[in-house]
Structure 1
Amino acid sequence: MAGVVRNEELRRFTGTGLRILAVAAAYLLVGRLGLLEQVVLGSVRVAPLWPPTGIAVSCLLLMGLRVWPGIALGALLVIATIGPVTAASAGVVAGNTLAPICAVLLLRRVDFRVELDRFRDGAALVFLGALIAMLLSATMGSGALLISGSLSADNFWGTWAAWWTGDAMGVLVITPVLLAARTIRLPLEIRPARWLEATALLLSTIAVALIGSLSTLHLLFLVFPLLIWAALRFELAGAAPCVLLVSVISVMAAGRQVGPFADHDLFALMVTLQALNGAAALTTLLLVAVVAERRSTYLQIERACVALAEVVARLAPGDGTSGRPPSDGGRGHGS
Structure 2
Amino acid sequence: MPVKIPDNLPAAGILESENIFVMSETRAANQDIRPMKVLILNLMPNKIETETQLLRLLGNTPLQVDVDLLRIHDKASKHVSIDHMNNFYRDFEQVRHKNYDGLIITGAPLGQVEFEDVSYWDHIREIIDWSQQHVTSVLFLCWAAHAALFHLYGLNRKLLSSKRSGVFNHKRTTKHYPLLRGFDDEFFAPHSRFAEMDVELLRAHPELQVLTESDTAGAYMVLSKSNRNLFVMGHPEYQKSTLKDEYLRDLAQGLKPEIPENYFSDNDPEKSPIARWHSHGSLLVSNWLNYYVYQLTPYNLDDMSAITPWES
Shared fold by TM > 0.5? no
- Greater strand percent: which structure? 2
- Greater helix percent: which structure? 1
When normalised by structure 1's length, the TM-score is 0.28
